[in-house]
Each structure stands twice: as structure tokens, then as C-alpha cells.
């Protein structure tokens, strides 16, 4: 609070009171947050996201965190002398690679997030898709290419999520799934988040990205679309106006919307406290997808 | 929010986050608020107090409101041609007067507060001390003077409070008690608040007044005492340094502290959002009595 | 029991046993009682009603009391020099009048009933329609006449009733409702009782009146109708054979019956223990309305 | 009700109301009833006891019935040509005799009581001491005499009682116990009742007998003792003033009192509705033993 | 375990592990066992059945035992000089006979089973159809013949079963039912078992018999039918290929299957641990009836 | 079951029945299993342990698994070119090493165990000490040597264990703890198991090792001590007769015993189904430490 003397106590109180209608609106609701990008790598932003998560939990929401960790996996591969190979934006994933992915994602990445939530006063438990058989996947079919242990989630068993939320914990889920034969799959975290939001009948899906949202014209940063319907989103993908990196995020939103989630948001995770701003002020930020 | 453009969304979020440790600290705790003075008569302050109460409830505290309403009672007496008489600061209360007091306090005053809480999105139920036999009183003994139906609470049955809190309601309690023969007593709301805080093992007692707190020198408004122990408070009363009007408030704090409440506060109800400021910022305001 | 030596212990026991099938029949059921008339003003009858209510609660029923208090309101108005004015049997209710009505009904009238129930060993809590937003009304539409704050209840939020019954309390409800803007309305207690009985899926509605029931010929006190269907009741009103004062009572019964209550009774509250007699003996008394 | 026109409805209601304080007093309490004598063999009395039991259950008490059935056992023995032999008032019980006792007591006697309770609108389940290992006995030691399978209960496992009471059933228990080797014992029903009352922390023990109570002078039927302390009762036994048949009943009362039961009663089961009269009127009848 | 040195510890563990999938499959399911024949009269087999029942309960199943006891009833009749008479395989049952049947079945037979279950470490409660009004019957209609108190169950009130299972007890039910007028009926235990299995939505019905199962050719002991559909079973009865003694057992299976029980088994109760073998190994034994 | 024709169905049933008393004895009890050694690296043994765990869960015990994974960590270090260094048997653990340890243990090792339990029909969730703040450690003090991120657990927060067990999951816990500043510590899995067993008031602690138990003479494999008291165990350590590798296991047993666990066992994990053999047969194996 040091050095920010301009905000008086009464302004402070007023701001809390202005958040009140939003606290009430989301009370008892589930919000799935896909965590990634700068918000995950930048220490300052990282702390802010965790504060946002703990605040959500404190005022009565049930936040669920989903994360991947592509850069950390690539870095770990390089340490053992493996060069990451991508085909159509998907990592070719042999047995050693998927083992490294599991080590990184279910290990330091997942547990680091859990620890940060505790440091900010919350309670969390980290999960991979193997825990409680949460995420069951089959090998992704990509015509022509053999990508190895890249999977598509096709079954979700949410009982462990409900057990943890009931026990007062924020579930933190990494994008590792289990195959029907017990094998390990690397899956897309955006997809997992959308699928989970649908399965849990979440009130909202929030995807933290490193862009401002969906642009009408990819080259024009001022062409942000603040709201679009699922149909419009599908059309944008179909006519090629969505940036490749953005496609899984838009698909994630669509999966959520189709599953009954009323609103899915693509947020700029580089902005401070973007989650709180979206949830608890009347400023819509980023792009909101609606049914 | 109009016209207050100086607070950006991110400052707003930061302010919420700064309140987080306080939200967590008081989560699930009971806070008894003695409501009165300007905060009860000034419409703007009234709305602020109710917002504060609803915010408390939303972020997981259990607020309990206690109120009297001397001026309203006097006014109603005058309407029927009765002149209020006071002996040593206590209203002489014949049968008609206590009936008027009950009409006013359990009627429009109590139900008006309940309605305001609903308007701000909360849920409340108004009670007199007769409901569920909550406050049982006997005739106050004042040497020499017969004050009539002025009572001292000597039994509290808090089960109805627990029932309402368990059902999600803010109990709003007026300072009318029941005698063992079923008769009606006017009781001091400050005393009720202190007694209730002790009985309910509250985390805090907050008394809203029209002064800044306890002054070391009654004539010097800059001599505010921000913290004093129960022993010190007792000494101040004993040596006559406490203003007559302040005495029941200090006694209320002492009753709470003796009953195990860790902190009791005399707050300036004329300041905006004084409850939130006390609870959810690191600014102590007014006078805090500690064991 | 003094002076009533004619009833031996074994007759006494036999009478309890004869009540047994009725105790069993109503076990766990809700019975809404509209309280008023002589049963409310006559001390002896008043005590009997309260004994009946406490007995109901003790043997496992859930009694709900609804009351108005027209005479008390008129008397209080006169004290402040206001003359009651009625148009078509409805009190013209300006702002001061509705404030007086709230003072009287939610104050001494309501709390007096609560206290009597406690005195007879029961537990009760008094409510106005503002508590827990129980009774929400809009301004009654009467062609031509402006009656002021006379309302029609059009929304009931029974959660507070369930909370109190679950906590072991008899809810005692006065006929004051809240408008959508927070304003106060005087509403008809008979209507409230019928509406509540329907909303709570009560087993019975009992209306205590000062007549023996509905008469086939208003001038012939021996023409009591002991049972009639809702259709017959509607016909009686339509062809003008129902006394004006009786109309809201019959409407109350109809509202209950239409809402699924199997039986609604108009009882003579001047008879001793008319509630127990109706419920726990095989004597039907008064007029019973059935679907 | 036929032919008893002298009791008006209002007298009827008054009598119910006079029972109210007793209903409230015993609400939720356990009452152990030792059933036997004329109340068990006389059809009219039998029905009355069962009505009393069902009424107790209906108004919220937990009645527990214990019964023996000596005459029925003797009769069944005679049918197979066995002559009952008694030593010091105790039946000599060989293996065939204990088998006959179990057949009679756990069979038609026990199930007949259960059926009667159902017929009067209650719900009951019959138990022997073998069910749920309720009554564990060892061979009674009688100096000199070998009485065979006559046992002393020395362990009670009340869990099955709690399960049945929790399920809404009246447990009906016959005086057959199980030995540690699985053998069958005939035990004294009076003793079982006293032991059970102590174990269940009952509010009362009621023993139905064929006498008016304990007499100060066995030969003078007018010398009924209405109240005596446990010490006095012990003294009466010691100095031989208690009739042999009455001894186990007094011992049963003592066992209950020593186990914390506040009051144990020896009632005249030949009087109509003696249980209700004792419980729900202010007439004490029979002999009451207090600590 | 002495003298069986051939089974090593690790074989022992392996065998437990092989039972694991069956434990899991039946976890939380209800299995109705009709107990009778050699398994009831042979001490060695009797112990084995009880061990099987206790094991079922321990690994999380809910076993329900139903038994009759024809031979014991006949023997008791002879003791009092009554000669059993059968018409079309049904015992002619006058009032004395049904009383004897109740004595035997609800007495030593039922309580003996309960005691054995306790001896093997389980917990059980014996019931007749009168307890909790479990089995309500009407007089069986047999053209021409008056069989007396032989009944057909036509109403089951399973609440007492649920209460006991919820309390951790194995219900042991004898084939005595109650008539609507409170009279006692002897009913067929096979039928009761099938009816109960249907009512309780059991996972399985197991009928212990003294044969290997249903034979295709009654004279050829090698013609065991291991599986047949309900339709086939009905056809077998229709064309007279089912042995008279077997008919009620097949009818019992049909009643269960029609009520939604997936599998009903006629087992050879003379084989050791036939229940465990059927449930917890992959050996089907006896005859299984399926929908 | 192929090729093991010597075990008949009835022997199979008998073996189940012989396990019954053990099933009952441990029903509802917590058993902490330290998993490691050959039982963790040998696929055949691994499957057997998991079957044992799932069987425990199925018959009503609450197994808790704790594991380390030293060899896997060393192997992963070598892959990135780091040579493991040990001081007094403890791994020198710099920041990169502890990160690798977390990757391996919380990643594939932990999740592999979880997956195996699911494959055998159970349900499990993997945890590190960071999840729910389960294991809080401080830097181990070793005189002279700086071992880096090697920690001693000094606080256990078992709420997450209770949440998972309540939800029907087997908790699988790796030996990674969190420091008070959020840093990662490698901790000794034997110690964690002993500490947890004490904290959870476990019925038993089972340590799977690659030896037969504690030997009286380290060089004589036939000198197995089957039972010793805590005092004796302490003496053995003090006089140097315990092998260095065995010391943490004995300390783990002592920690459990001191915390109230009645029995702690050092088992030979190389034997098939050693857990089941210990729990469910009357063969004690390995070394049992008692208070």
C-alpha cells in the first residue's frame, strides 16, 4: 500500500462495495481458468493471478485452474539433448518426450502453482489427468502424421474435482491424461479447460492469453472483438480469420458454450489482475464468446 | 461510479486484493454491530452501513445488528401528547411509553433496517427480545427513582440467532426485552450489543457513534485514544473522565471483553463506510478496547 | 383442574386415547391459522388459542399463525387524532396510517402473541412481511378509489418460514407486506393466510371468526352450512348470499383450496378451544370448504 | 365414544390442554415399560396398554417394552407333558424347558404384542436378547440348587435399540438372553427392564403389576407407600417387609435408580390406562422409587 | 488351518486377490438368500453358510436371509400329539398349527440363526413378517381345499429391512406373515425370498436346496441345466418337467426376475461354501435363471 | 488361475473364510504403507502390491501409500549429466537436483502408482507434500555438511488425506515437502511414513524393504528378529547393530510407535503379496516393532 496514498480509506471502502454485486452474482459458482502465457512466466503477474484465485475462493466462488507448460517442456527436453519437433503446431511426442512432459507439468510446474496459492493464503491440490482417472484420452488422429503420445480427452471423471472443492481446495490440473491402457498422453490444456467447464456446468471459462483478445483483422491491434456468438466464432475459424495460435482457445470457448457454459472469455493475461477485473468490475475486457 | 474516473480497473483490483487478508481473517466469524446515531438517521450513511453489512455477509462473516431508537420514540410520544422525561439520562417509562417504544422500535425502525438490507441484496429478519425469548430482563434498579419499564437484560437465549444465521439471515435486533411475567421492557441497546457479543463469542463488537472515539481530554478533539485496555477503560470511568453519553458504550465494550470478545471498537459512524474501513483495511479507526 | 372433579383419571386417559388417531393423522403437517376476532381480544379465549397452538406444536404439527388487527390500528390512529376512513370496507391508508398500522401490528400485537406462546411453553418468532422478504405486495387496484398503501400480496418467499419451523419455532405473521420499492403495505390477513396455506402446501387452513360459519340464510342463525365445495362457495359469493365481512374469509379458503390445500375451515373463535375441537375430535365445527 | 355423552368437546379440549405440560416434559425421553400381569392377559387392558404406548410414541417419547410370560410358558410345558418345577420362586429350566420358553416368549407372545401395537397405529419390532446380542447372560448362581438355564444378564448391547428407535419403531423385548457360548437363558423380565432403563439413561421405568404398589403392611391394602427412596426400599427388602413376588420388581427399580434413572414406578396394571395416568396427569399412582 | 499345509501363504494371498473383482462387483449390493435344507440341518454346513454370510457383510454386501423350517414344525406338532396333514404339498394349518409354526420359526429356529451369525463375528436381527408389518398376507385360495392359516404374501413393507441394514445388521426373516386382521399366517419361504428380492431390487437371489439344480431330465442327475431364461423356466413348469418340490423354488426365481433382479440361482446347499463359490469365484454352480 | 488346478473351489472358499477375522479386525482402520525397493521396481511384485492395496480398500481399510524413488532420481540426474553425490548416505541436493527429484517423484513415479491402482480397480490420487501443505519441512541440520535441499518434516497437515479418504481415494504420497518460504525439499520417505502413521493414528505401519527384516546378527540371515519392543529397537541402534540402510526404517517404526501406532512392521517386499500375508493370515512375517 506504500506510496499509493492517493486512495483514501473511504474510496477503498467504496470500491469494495462496488464489487459487492459481482461477489453476490458469482457466489457458489464454478469458474474454470486456463492459466498460461506471460501470467505464468512473469513473477509479478503470477502473484496477481494467484491473489485473484484466492480472492475468488474467499468470496465464495469455486475456481478450477488448468495449465499446460509448453516452454518448460521444451527447455527440459533440451537439457537431455532432445530437440522439440512440431507438426502443424503439435509437438511430436515420443515415449521419452511424454515422460519429460509429465515430469515437468505434474512436477515443478503444477506443484509450483499449488505452493503459490498457499503462499497467498489459499488451499490447493495439484492433479494430473491420471489422478482419480480425471482425464481419459485416446491417441489424437492427425491425417498422415504420427504424433505419438498426443491425445484427445474423450472422458472426464469429475468426482475428484468435486471431492476437492467440497474439502475447500482449489484443484490445479495439468494437461496430462491417461489412456485406456494406462499410457500417458500430452493433451491440449485449452481443450481440457473447455471440456472441464462444460462437464462441471461452470458459470464462466476464462482463458488467459498473451493477446488482447480476438481481432477482427489480425494485423490491426485496434480491431478487438469484445463479444461474439458461438456461430460467429465458428465462421471466423472457417474463413481462416483466426490466428493459428488462437484456434485452440476459440475451440475451447466453443466446447464450453456448447456444453452449457453461458460465457467464455479470452483475456489478456499480461494486464494486471485481469481475472478480478473481468469478474468483479463492470468492465468487460478481452473477447467474450456467448451462445 | 460516475465521475470517479481516477480509479483505474487495476487499482480497483489491487484494492480488492489488499482486502483479501482481512476477508480471510474474519471468515466465519461473528461481528456484533451496535447501530445508531447519524449512521441511522442520515440516509446516505444509512445506505453505506447496509452495504457494509451485506458485504460482510457476502464474504462469509456473520454480522448481527443491534439498534435502539431514542429520538424516534420521543417523537412518537410527542405525537400522542406525551412529554419525554429523563432521570439521570434514563427515560422514565410508564406503561404507555413502553408500548410506544415497542411500537416504534419493533415496528418501522426495525423493519426499515430489514428492508434496507434486502434492497442492498442481503437477507435479514427483524427481532425484538420477545422473539424466541431472546432477551429476558428484570426491572432496572435505580436508587430512589422509579423509572418504570426500564430493564436490565439478565438472560440471553441465543438459539434464534443461530437459527437465523444458519438460514442465511442477518438478525436485526431492537432493544425491547421481555420480563419473566411477560411484561415489556425498554433496555439499553449498547448494553444488549455488549452482552450479545459476549454470549455469541463474537470476534468483534463495533459500536457506531457520533464521536471520533474516546477522548483523553473531553474538550480536546485531538486527544483521541486509539487503543486502551479494559483496565484502563474502567479507570477512565471511575475517575470521571468519560462523558456521560459515552459511558454505556464503554460499559458495552467492557461486557464484551469480559465475555471473551478479543476486540471492541467505538467507531465514528459519521465517517463513510466506517465498518468496512475498520474491518477490511489496516487503518484502525476510533477507539479499540482490548482485554 | 380445580373444581372439575367429575372427570376421573381414566376418563381423562380415554380422552387422550381418543385424540390419538388425530395426532397421528396430522403428524408432521402444516396448519395455517388465521387468528382474529374475539379469540384475539378476549383474554380467556386468547389463552386457549395459544394452548391449542402449543399443543399442536408438541404433538408434531407445524402451526403457522397469521394475524391482522384492525381495531388496534383504528384505536392508535385516534390517539394521534386521525379518523379512520373506509371505502368499500377497505381502510384508506395514507403514509402516516400505514406507518401506524406497521407500528401496531409488527409491534405490540405481534410481539404480544409471541410472548403468550412462550408463556404457555411454546417457542415463537414474530414476523412482518418485510422479514426475509416474506410477503411482497403491489398497490391494490380498486376502480375509482385511491386507497393509498393498501396492497395485494403477489409474491411469497417462504424460506424464512421453513427456517423457523426447522428451528422449532411457531412463525407469527402480521399483515404488513413490502413493496418492490421498499414501501410498506397494509394487506388483508385473511388473504395472506389463504395464500400462505397454498404456498406451504398446508394440510389445513383454519380461520377464526366471530360467527358460527357460513349461513345459507344470513338472517337465520340455524342455517349453518357445515361443508361446501369450492364451486358452491364461488356461487354463493356470485349470487350475493355471502355477507360482506365474510367475503375475504371465503376468498381465503378458495385461494387455499385452489393451491392444493385439501380442507379450509371457517371456525367460531368464540367457542372454547375451537382449534383443538376441529383438529382432534370427530366433531366437525363451523364451515368446511373442500375442493 | 358411544354412550359417554357427558364429556363435551370443550371438556375434551381442556383435558388435552391439561396434558400438554406432561407431553412437553417427556418429549424426546426414553421410558422403559415392564409389561406383564393382568395388563397382558386381559384383552381389554391389553388394548389400553397398547394405546398408551402408541400415544407415547406419537407425542414424541421413546417407549421400550420388556415382557416375560411365565403362565404361557407353564401352559406350553403342560401341553408336551412337562410339569413346571419352581425352586425359591425360580423355574427349574432344563434344555427342553428353555427351548419351550424361547418358543413361547420370542414367538406368539412377543409377536402378538408387536401386532397389537400395529393395530393401534404404531410401529414395533420384537426382539429377544439374542438379536443384535442385546442381552448377554451367564448362568445364575443359586447356592445349592441347579436351576439349569436360568441366567443373570451381565452385558447389554443397546445399539439395536437405538437403531430401531431411530427408525421409528417401538422395541418389544422378551426375557430370553444369550450365553457367551451361544446357549439360551431364561432371564427375569423385571431385572431386564431395570438394567435396560439404567443402560439407556431412561427418564422413567414403569413396572406394570397386579397390585396397587408397595404396601407398608403386606396385610393392609390401605398401607400403600406412594413414594420411597432407594435407601428405604433397600431397608424394606432387608427387613423382610417386601412380599416375595414383589422383590424382583423392587430390585428392578433399584437397578434403574442406581444407574441414574430419576424415577421408577410400580403401577397397578389392572387400572385402566395406568401408564397414561402416571405420565400425563398430575396424579401419582402406585409406588414411586426415587434416588 | 491345521493339517492343511499344502496351501502356502502366497497361494492364500493369490486366492484373496482372485476374489477381489467379485468383491468389487457386488460392493453395496443386496443379495437375498433363501436358507433351508441340509445347509440348515447339518451343523458343519450351517457354520459354513454363516461364515459366508458374515464374509459377505464384511466385504460390503447386504445379505438378507429368509428361512422356513417345515421339519422342525412337524416335529413340534408331534410332541403335542398332532399329526401333520398335507394337501397338494401344503400343510393343513389350523389355529393350533399356525401357533406352533410361529413358536418354532420365530423362536428357536430364527434366533438360532441369529446367534450363529454373531458367533461368526457378524451382527444380525431376527424378524417375523409381523415385525414392522414386514409381510402382510391373505388366506391362500386353493380350489376345493380349506388349508386354514396358509397365506399368500401380497404386501411387503421393507422399511424395517432398510433400518436394520443401515444399522449394520443382517436381517433374518422367518416365513410367518400377518393378516390384515392381525391373524398369523404360515407362508412359503421360497415365495417370500423371491418377493423380497424383487421388492428390494436385489442384485441376486440365492436359493439353497438339496439338489444340484434344475435337471433337464428329472431322472438323469447329469442333465443339470446351468442357465435358463425366465421364459424357458415357465415352459418347463407348464409342460410338467419340473419336480413338484422344485416348483416353488422356480416360481421364486421367476418372481425375482420379473421384479427386476438380474440373476436368480438355485444352488446345492450340500456343497461346502456354495454361496461364496457362486459369488466370489468364476465357477457358476447350480442353475441360474436370467430374464 | 490357469495351471493352478490344485486349489478347488471349496478350498478357495475356505481360504476366504479364514481371512474373515482379519478383514473384520482391520475394518475402518488406517494402514500406512511405505512402498519401495524391489516391490516398486519389479513389475510382477508391483502388480501384487497394487492388488493388495485395492483389496485393502475393498474390504474396508484405509490404505495410505508413501513412496520415495532414489534410483529413479539418480538415473534422471545422469541423463542431464549430473553425478549423484552422497554424504553419510544422504544425497547432496542442490537446487537443480531437488527440481529433478520433484520432477521424477511427483511426476512419473507418483502418477505411475496412481495409474496402476486404477488398473487394478481401485481409485487413487497422487500427492506431493506441497498439496494442501501436507508436509512442511525445514532444512536438515547435519553437522559440518551442507546437504542443500534435504529436509526434515516438522509439520503435517492431514486434512487433505482425510478429504481424499472420505471421497474414496487411496492417497499416494511422494517424499517431496515444502519449506516455510515455499522452497522444495527432498525428504526421507521412511520418516514421512512413520510421521504420517503417528499423525493419522494408524492401526499399522508397513515398510516394504528388500530384506527379510531386522537381523540380530547382520551377517547371519537366519537371525531374523520377529518381534522387538521400541526400547529394544533403540538399543540396537545405539549399540550399532543396525545396518545403516536399515536405520531410517527402524526410526520410522519408532516414530510411529511413539505416536501411538500399536504395531509397525518391516516386511520383505520381495515376497509375493507380503502385505496381504501380514494383514490377512496368521503368519507374522518380517520384524514387528511394538511399544
Residue contact A114–F130, C-beta within 8 A: yes
What pLDDT is recorded for position B23? 92
At residue A256's C-alpha, the angle toward residues A250 and A259, to 5°, is 140
Please check whether residue F121 is in contact with residue F136, taking contact to mean a CB–CB distance below 8 angstroms: no
Interface test with B, best of A12, A57, A280 (most B CBs within 10 A): A12
Alpha helices in B136-246, H assignment, sequence order = 159-166, 189-199, 230-238
- Residues in chain A closer than 8 A to B277 (CB atoms): 9-10, 12-13
Closest-approach residue (CA) in chain F for E285: F9
Q: How far is CA A20 from the centre of its chain?
A: 25
CA distance readout (Å), E233 to C87, D273, E121, E215, E250: 81, 57, 38, 11, 7
- Residues in chain F closer than 8 A to A160 (CB atoms): 125, 167, 169
pLDDT in tens, E170-207: 999 999 999 999 999 999 999 999 999 999 999 999 99
How many CB pairs below 8 Å do chains A and B form together?
Answer: 126
Q: How many CB atoms lie under 10 A from the CB of residue B8?
A: 12
B30 and chain C in contact, CB less than 8 A: no
C201 and chain D in contact, CB less than 8 A: no
What pLDDT is recorded for position C2? 36
Secondary structure element (H or E) that encloses residue C251, with its range = helix C247-258
Res A105 pLDDT > 80: yes
- Closest-CA distance, B127 to chain C, in angstroms, reads 7
The grid coordinates listed for F181 are 518460504
D196 and chain C in contact, CB less than 8 A: no
**Is position A70 annotated as part of the catalytic site?**
yes
pLDDT band at A206 (very low <50, low <70, confident <90, very high): very high
Residue contact A16–B55, C-beta within 8 A: yes
- Residues in chain F closer than 8 A to E17 (CB atoms): 48, 51-52, 55, 273, 276
- Residues in chain D closer than 8 A to C1 (CB atoms): 18, 282
The rounded mean pLDDT for chain B is: 93
Decide which of 3.20.20.80, 3.40.1160.10, 3.40.50.261, 3.30.70.1230 is the CATH code for C28-290: 3.40.1160.10
Angle, helices D95-104 vs D70-79, to 10°: value is 120
Residue contact E111–D108, C-beta within 8 A: no
pTM score, whole prediction: 0.90
| Catalytic choice (D52, D131, D190, D268) | D190
- Which of F104, F118, F133 comes nearest A133 by C-beta? F118
**Is position C70 annotated as part of the catalytic site?**
yes
| Catalytic choice (F249, F268, F269, F286) | F249
The grid coordinates listed for E256 are 425375482
Res F237 pLDDT > 60: yes
Domain topology for E26-290: Carbamate kinase (3.40.1160)
Please check whether residue F78 is in contact with residue E42, taking contact to mean a CB–CB distance below 8 angstroms: no
What pLDDT is recorded for position C90? 85
pLDDT in tens, F81-128: 999 998 877 889 999 999 999 999 999 999 999 999 999 999 999 999
What pLDDT is recorded for position B130? 98
Domain locations in chain A as residue ranges: 28-290
pLDDT band at C3 (very low <50, low <70, confident <90, very high): very low
Q: Which residues share a beta bridge with B174?
A: B67
**Is position D34 annotated as part of the catalytic site?**
yes
What is the C-alpha separation between E134 and E66, in angstroms, rounded? 12
Secondary structure element (H or E) that encloses residue C11, with its range = helix C9-26
pLDDT in tens, B135-158: 999 999 887 788 999 999 999 999
What is the C-alpha separation between B282 and D66, in angstroms, rounded? 67
What is the C-alpha separation between B214 and F186, in angstroms, rounded? 55
Res C149 pLDDT > 50: yes
What pLDDT is recorded for position B53? 97
| Domain D31-213+231-283 in this protein, CATH class | alpha beta
What pLDDT is recorded for position B184? 98
Grid coordinates 413376588 are at which residue? D245
What pLDDT is recorded for position C6? 60
Residue contact C99–B79, C-beta within 8 A: no
The grid coordinates listed for C141 are 387496484
Residue contact B132–C115, C-beta within 8 A: no
What is the C-alpha separation between A168 and A170, in angstroms, rounded? 7
pLDDT in tens, E79-126: 999 999 988 778 899 999 999 999 999 999 999 999 999 999 999 999
pLDDT band at E23 (very low <50, low <70, confident <90, very high): very high
What pLDDT is recorded for position B2? 36
Q: Identify the sign of the CA torsion B3, B5, B9, B12.
A: negative
What pLDDT is recorded for position A253? 98
Chains near A with 3+ CB pairs less than 8 A apart are: B, F
The grid coordinates listed for B280 are 477490511
F242 and chain A in contact, CB less than 8 A: no
Helix (H, G, I), strand (E, B) or coil at D274: helix
Secondary structure element (H or E) that encloses residue B103, with its range = helix B95-104
Supply the Cα-derived Rg of chain D in whole angstroms: 19
Res F284 pLDDT > 80: no
Please check whether residue A62 is in contact with residue A26, taking contact to mean a CB–CB distance below 8 angstroms: no
Please check whether residue A177 is in contact with residue A129, taking contact to mean a CB–CB distance below 8 angstroms: yes
- Residues in chain F closer than 8 A to E276 (CB atoms): 12-13, 16-17
DSSP chain E: -TT-TTS-HHHHHHHHHHHHHHHHHHTT-EEEEEE-THHHHSHHHHHHHHHHHHHHHHTT-EEEEEE--HHHHHHHHHHTT----EETTEE-B-HHHHHHHHHHIIIIIHHHHHHHHHHTT--EEEE-TTGGG-EEEEEPP-SS---BSBEEEEEE-THHHHHHHHTT-EEEEESEEEETTS-EEE--HHHHHHHHHHHTT-SEEEEEESSSS-BSSTT-TT-B--EEEHHHHHHHHHTT-S-GGGHHHHHHHHHHHHTT-SEEEEEETTSTTHHHHHHHSS---SEEEE-
pLDDT in tens, D160-181: 999 999 999 999 999 999 999 9
C250 and chain B in contact, CB less than 8 A: no
Residue contact E123–D133, C-beta within 8 A: yes
Res D244 pLDDT > 90: no
Please name the residues between 110 and 129 in chain F that touch chain E, using a CB distance below 8 Å. 120-121
Res C175 pLDDT > 80: yes
Domain topology for B27-290: Carbamate kinase (3.40.1160)
- Which of A13, A18, A54 comes nearest B20 by C-beta? A54
What is the C-alpha separation between C68 and C188, in angstroms, rounded? 7
A158 and chain F in contact, CB less than 8 A: no
DSSP C183-234: -EEE--HHHHHHHHHHHTT-SEEEEEESSSS-BSSTT-TT-B--EEEHHHHH
**Is position C249 annotated as part of the catalytic site?**
yes
Residue contact F167–A169, C-beta within 8 A: no
Res D10 pLDDT > 90: no
- Which of D1, D120, D280 comes nearest C18 by C-beta? D1
Q: How many CB atoms lie under 10 A from the CB of residue A217?
A: 9
What is the C-alpha separation between B7 and C212, in angstroms, rounded? 70
What is the C-alpha separation between E263 and D194, in angstroms, rounded? 48
Mean pLDDT of C212-238: 91
The rounded mean pLDDT for chain C is: 93
Alpha helices in chain F, H assignment, sequence order = 9-26, 38-41, 43-58, 70-79, 95-104, 110-119, 159-166, 189-199, 230-238, 247-258, 274-280
Closest-approach residue (CA) in chain B for A53: B17
Q: Collect all residues with Cβ–Cβ distance below 8 Å to B263 and sequence separation of at least 6.
A: B203, B204, B205, B288, B289, B290
What is the C-alpha separation between C3 and C11, in angstroms, rounded? 16
D29: left (phi over 0), alpha (psi -120 to 50) or beta: beta
Mean pLDDT of F193-198: 98
Q: How many CB atoms lie under 10 A from the CB of residue F238?
A: 9
Q: Collect all residues with Cβ–Cβ distance below 8 Å to E151 and sequence separation of at least 6.
A: E137, E138, E139, E140, E177, E179, E185, E186, E187
pLDDT in tens, A25-69: 999 999 999 999 999 999 999 999 999 999 999 999 999 999 999
Chains near B with 3+ CB pairs less than 8 A apart are: A, C
- Closest-CA distance, B30 to chain A, in angstroms, reads 16
Helix (H, G, I), strand (E, B) or coil at A221: coil
Mean pLDDT of D134-154: 91
A281 and chain B in contact, CB less than 8 A: yes
The rounded mean pLDDT for chain D is: 93
E273 and chain F in contact, CB less than 8 A: yes
pLDDT in tens, C195-213: 999 999 999 999 999 999 9
Amino acid at each position: 500500500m506504500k506510496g499509493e496514498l492517493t486512495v483514501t480509506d473511504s474510496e477503498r471502502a467504496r470500491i469494495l462495495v462496488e464489487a459487492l454485486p459481482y461477489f453476490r452474482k458469482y457466489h457458489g459458482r464454478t469458474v474454470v481458468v486456463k492459466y498460461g502465457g506471460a501470467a505464468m512466466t512473469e513473477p509479478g503477474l503470477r502473484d496477481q493471478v494467484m491473489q485473484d484465485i484466492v480472492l475468488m475462493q474467499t468470496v465464495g466462488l469455486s475456481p478450477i485452474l488448468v495449465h499446460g507448460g509448453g516452454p518448460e517442456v521444451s527447455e527440459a527436453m533440451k537439457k537431455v539433448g532432445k530437440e522439440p519437433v512440431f507438426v502443424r503446431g503439435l509437438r511430436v511426442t515420443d515415449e521419452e518426450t511424454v515422460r519429460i512432459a509429465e515430469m515437468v507439468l505434474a512436477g515443478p510446474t503444477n506443484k509450483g502453482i499449488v505452493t503459490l496459492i498457499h503462499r497467498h493464503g489459499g488451499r490447493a491440490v495439484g492433479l494430473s489427468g491420471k489422478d482419480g482417472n480425471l482425464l481419459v484420452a485416446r491417441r489424437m488422429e492427425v491425417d498422415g502424421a504420427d504424433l505419438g503420445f498426443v491425445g484427445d480427452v474423450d472422458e472426464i471423471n469429475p468426482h475428484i474435482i468435486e471431492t476437492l472443492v467440497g474439502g475447500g481446495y482449489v484443484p490445479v490440473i495439468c494437461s496430462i491424461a491417461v489412456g485406456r491402457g494406462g499410457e500417458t498422453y500430452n493433451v491440449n490444456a485449452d481443450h481440457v479447460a473447455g471440456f472441464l467447464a462444460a462437464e462441471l456446468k461452470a458459470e464462466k471459462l476464462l482463458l488467459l492469453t498473451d493477446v488482447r483478445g480476438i481481432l477482427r483483422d489480425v494485423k490491426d491491434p485496434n480491431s478487438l472483438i469484445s463479444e461474439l456468438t458461438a456461430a460467429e466464432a465458428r465462421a471466423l475459424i472457417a474463413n481462416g480469420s483466426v490466428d493459428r495460435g488462437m484456434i485452440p482457445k476459440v475451440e475451447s470457448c466453443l466446447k464450453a458454450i456448447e456444453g452449457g457454459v453461458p460465457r467464455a472469455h479470452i483475456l489478456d493475461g499480461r494486464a494486471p489482475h485481469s481475472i478480478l477485473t473481468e469478474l468483479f468490475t463492470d468492465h468487460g475486457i478481452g473477447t467474450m464468446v456467448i451462445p
